Amino acid sequence: MLNYNLPADALTSDLLTFLREGMVRDAATEQAIALVRTEYLKSVAQGAPVSADILSALASFCRDHEYTFAVSAEDEVNLTRLDPARSKVENLMTACFWPIFEEALPLNDISNLRPISNAVSDAVRAQYEESPYPRWRVLPDLPEPDTAANILVAGCGTGQEALIYAKASPHSWVTGLDLSRVSLAYALAQARARNIANVRFMQGDILDVALLEQKFDSIKCSGVLHHMEDPLRGLRALTSVLADGGKIFLALYSARSSEPKEAAIQLRKARNAPATDNGIRQFRQEIFALPTNHPARNALNSIDFYSVSGTRDLLFHVQERYYSVWDVKALVEAAGLRLVRFGIGAKPEQRFRDMGFTDFSDLASWDKVEERHPGTFSGMYRMLLEKV
Ligand SMILES: C[S@@+](CC[C@H](N)C(=O)[O-])C[C@H]1O[C@@H](n2cnc3c(N)ncnc32)[C@H](O)[C@@H]1O
């Protein structure tokens, strides 16, 4: 995919577009981008002419991947030859390795439901305030706009999902609720950059969602409840603000699909790797350096592995639990909900049909699908729920 014939004039516009809009999703691309950066650094350090446009795109790409790419010994030497104050290209080249200018997030524009009092929620808040997740760059269009008028994205993180719905459905009103003020400020900055105004971002615990004093036609809660101390309490709180006839979209970790990352988590614990940005960068390099048959290398198959905050979410989480389809059944029923549909997503649906099943809310069928294809829910169990 990438043209290694550097420097700049050999680069294709595809690469420039990728640097402006893309995200790394696999080890080969990460290594290729690190090599591109090394080659540019060499050119800049030698005083060769280099396009500022490319360096600007590369700098924002490295920033959005939280400077997670390996810095080689050659890079270290060449970096000592740069003076970011001397020229624009040296400035931009330096910005490919560490932040030289931090844009202030609109932290003071995020209002608060009430102080977070649950100890687990507070630990989760601290994690996502240090490592807002996920970092994202483009806002995909929804294939079918959601017609719901009042939408809650519970645990909205950095706001991509909330903004997808707000953009697709300009007459809807979207509320994003999250523990992390930093993630919410990131989301608000993204909304402002795109002139999306039918959305608001609030800091608060799902446990306190009733304080919003609203009912919602549609509640989205993706990758969130499994980080709560008591997910059932969380789901009950969401059900209490669901309008009659409304639907909850819920996504939860599958135990079977999460098994492949377990070896990397055990290795992280055995090494006592610190959950700091540098600790995470270093641990990632340790995983890359493992023998190819080491089970901890399974982490390389997750797209979350390719940023610092993603690796933290994947391998360093302060609170997470995993579900079987039967755990999901118990949770949903205890919250007074029923499944409208389970296994939402192209891959699970295809496997479901391939095995001859037809009732998408039948968990016994889904259990058989997952037993045969244990990685089916690597993107989580995704389901639609309604009140009983
Ligand atoms: C893995 S991220 C998912 C973010 C977003 N839903 C997405 O799919 O990109 C989990 C988010 O849930 C939030 N969260 C976890 N527990 C929460 C709670 N009790 N109340 C509100 N937000 C919570 C975290 O702060 C974090 O931003």
d(CA 8, CA 51) in angstroms, rounded, equals: 6
How many degrees, rounded to 5, is the angle at CA 229 between CA 228 and CA 230? 90
Centre of ligand 1 from the C-alpha of residue 307, in Å = 17
Q: Look at ligand 1, atom 26, and give the residue with the nearest C-alpha.
A: 157
pLDDT per position as a tens digit, 194-215:
999 999 999 999 999 999 999 9
Contact indicator for 310, 356 with CB cutoff of 8 Å = no
Contact indicator for 204, 198 with CB cutoff of 8 Å = no
Contact indicator for 264, 235 with CB cutoff of 8 Å = no
d(CA 135, CA 133) in angstroms, rounded, equals: 5
Q: Is the pLDDT of residue 335 over 90?
A: yes
Nearest-atom index, ligand 1, CA of 234: 19
Longest dimension (CA), the chain: 69
Mutate to test the pocket of ligand 1, among 153, 179, 321, 344 (most ligand atoms within 8 A of CB): 179
Centre of ligand 1 from the C-alpha of residue 149, in Å = 22
Q: Is the pLDDT of residue 149 over 90?
A: no
- What count of other Cβ atoms lies within 10 Å of the Cβ of residue 114? 10
106-251 belongs to which CATH class? Answer: alpha beta
pLDDT per position as a tens digit, 155-197:
999 999 999 999 999 899 999 999 999 999 999 999 999 999 9
Centre of ligand 1 from the C-alpha of residue 16, in Å = 32
pTM for the model stands at: 0.94
Q: Is the pLDDT of residue 145 over 90?
A: no
How do the domains of the chain map onto residue ranges? 8-94, 106-251, 257-315
What 3-state DSSP class applies to 188? helix
pLDDT per position as a tens digit, 262-294:
999 999 999 999 999 999 999 999 999 999 999
Query: If you ran DSSP here, which 8-state letter would residue 65 be given?
Result: T
Could you tell me the CA-to-CA distances from 294 to 137, 243, 316 in Å, in that order?
Answer: 32, 49, 19
Centre of ligand 1 from the C-alpha of residue 179, in Å = 7
Q: Of 342, 325, 323, 345, whose CA–CA distance to 384 is shortest? A: 342
Q: Is the pLDDT of residue 10 over 80?
A: no
Nearest-atom index, ligand 1, CA of 125: 25
Centre of ligand 1 from the C-alpha of residue 240, in Å = 19
Centre of ligand 1 from the C-alpha of residue 243, in Å = 22
Pocket of ligand 1 (CB under 6 A): 121, 124, 128, 133-134, 155-157, 160-161, 177-180, 183, 205-206, 222-224, 227-228, 234, 313
